[in-house]
Amino acid sequence: MSDASFLSLDKLSLAYGKTIAVKELDLDIRKGELLALLGPSGCGKTTTMRAIAGLMTPVSGRITLDGADITRVPANRRNIGLVFQSYALFPHLTVFENVAFGLKLQGIGGDELTRRVDAGLKSVGLTAFSGRKTPDLSGGQQQRVALARSMVMQPKVLMLDEPLSNLDARLRLEMRTELQRMQKETGVTMIFVTHDQVEALALADRIVVMRDGAIEQIGTPEEIYNNPVSSFVADFVGFENLFAIRNGKLVAAGGIELDPAGPLPDAAGLAWRPRAIALGAGPFTGTVRGVSFAGGTREYLLESGFGTVKAEADVSVPGYPLNAEVAFDMPISAAAPLHRFG
């Protein structure tokens, strides 16, 4: 075992009855890494996490943790923490008692129990709430209790299922920073599941993009954001304008072909973010069918001869009104080349 493969999934296949949910997944997770499993609903994120936690038995393949094969080890002997979306706290117990629960089950009591629970509560900023019953806490505070409850068990890996999805926008931002801080401070290997690219990009050291039970791309947030390998990933991380390349032409979503503004790279397709579309001059024209103000920028929906193009321009430059005819360019140099399309 090296630190680069602290937790390894080796050709892991998972199924519900006859339905295959995850197919021959290979993944190495580093010690101390904060990893995001990102993908749309049904792509197999939760199933993968359940298998790592020991809540389902693989059809085939192997899971190793810290040098040991844990494929058939029962969940309670894996030393993997799991924080669900519904925090599953005990409503009749106080915050302290909730956090102490698992430790007590392990026979830990007395000063050690108090010391570890106090440290757990401190790490999530809940010391002042230790005597409160959990229903009397806000959603964000309840989630901190669930986190502390897992962290005090000193798991080798901590997994979180959609950790921020139940929180309002402000709390989400706060918890994001909090999670990151806690993970870096404790050095715990952390995996979280999300369908929200913004969350994955903001939090993770590395992102695993999943599609139909398989890995589509693994990379740092920068790699995923700037160099998506496929139209699927590009679409998922906000490239709104996707074109296939066929016989030296760009092919729009509706199948309409257009001549590119320059030589095309050797790729299966090209993708432009809205802000990569240059407005005001260029070989293409479109009619403004929608304008929305987005703080520092304006977003435009342009109806062109080959379909809708989404563009974004700084508010400091004069805007275009609805129904205006606008010339635009899709510079090849500003596009991300895609290795797979469709």
Ligand X SMILES: Nc1ncnc2c1ncn2[C@@H]1O[C@H](COP(=O)(O)OP(=O)(O)OP(=O)(O)O)[C@@H](O)[C@H]1O
- Applying CB under 6 A, the residues found at the interface with ligand X are 16, 19, 21, 39, 41-47, 195
Residue 273 token pair: 């973010």
**3-state SS assignment for residue 341:** coil
Instruction: Find where tokens 């160099």 sit.
Output: 227
Taking the complex as a whole, how short is the minimal distance between the CB of residue 194 and ligand X, in angstroms?
A: 8
As measured in angstroms, the least distance from the Cβ of 162 to ligand X is 7
Closest distance to ligand X from the beta carbon of 39 (Å)? 6
Alpha-carbon distance of 125 to 178, in angstroms, equals 9
Closest distance to ligand X from the beta carbon of 88 (Å): 16
- Bridge partners, 81 (sequence order): 158
The nearer residue to ligand X, 43 or 336, going by C-beta atoms, is: 43
CA proximity to 336, closest of 235, 200, 253, 195: 235
Q: Which is nearer to ligand X, 213 or 228 (CB)?
A: 213
Kindly tell me the number of DSSP H helices and DSSP E strands found in the chain: 8, 19
Cβ closest to ligand X, residue 23 vs residue 31: 23
Q: Which is nearer to ligand X, 162 or 303 (CB)?
A: 162
Task: Say whether 258 sits in a helix, a strand or coil.
Answer: strand
Least separation in angstroms between residue 46's CB and ligand X is: 3
Contact 126, 96 (CB under 8 A): no
Q: How far is the CB of 122 from ligand X (least distance, A)?
A: 32
> CA 254 → CA 64, 65, 251, 258, 323, distances in Å?
46, 47, 8, 12, 22
Provide the 8-state DSSP code for 106.
Answer: T
* Closer of 19 and 106 to ligand X (Cβ): 19
How many CB atoms within 10 Å of residue 10?
18
Nearer to ligand X, 39 or 58 (CB): 39
